[in-house]
Copies of this chain bind each other. A is one copy, B any other.
Amino acid sequence: MNLDLDPSSPVPLYAQIVEQVRRQVALGALRPGDRLPTVRDLAVHVRVNRNTAARAIQELERRGVVRTRVGQGTFVQDRAAEIERAVLEEQMDQAIDRLLVEAGNTGITLEALAERFADRLEKFRKKQAGKEGGEHE
């Protein structure tokens, strides 16, 4: 359970936890049947108020990502991986769509946007290539 929280982000701590756990489920870092840390442990581990940790887990349960069995702990649900994976892809498409709508509102032509996109992608690719080999975590 590697969680990386940013207290100065506008997105609430509990939401950051939820998001990152869902992502780990989607990517297979957490697999169906895996046991999550207890609220207490989670709170200590990510240095957060116990209420915040509790709220995060509660939210995960509400979304059906995990299931709490009293006395035993909280476990990743069976079909969670595929569901979260689909959600992630759906979100990506939505992000793209938002970009397109935004471009329209801004008066940028779709052609110009596509160009811009290609441009940023190229830059990004180069930056990635530069990092190769220097990776630690």
Contacts and interface: CB of A to CB of B under 8 A. Distances in A.
A102 interface: yes
Contacts of A116: 92-93, 96
A103 B8 CA distance: 23
Interface of A: 7-8, 23, 26-27, 49, 62, 67, 69, 71, 88-89, 92-93, 95-100, 102-108, 110, 113-114, 116-118, 120-121, 124-125, 128
15 contacts: A7-B69, A8-B67, A26-B106, A49-B71, A92-B99, A92-B103, A92-B106, A92-B108, A93-B116, A95-B99, A95-B102, A96-B99, A96-B117, A96-B121, A117-B117
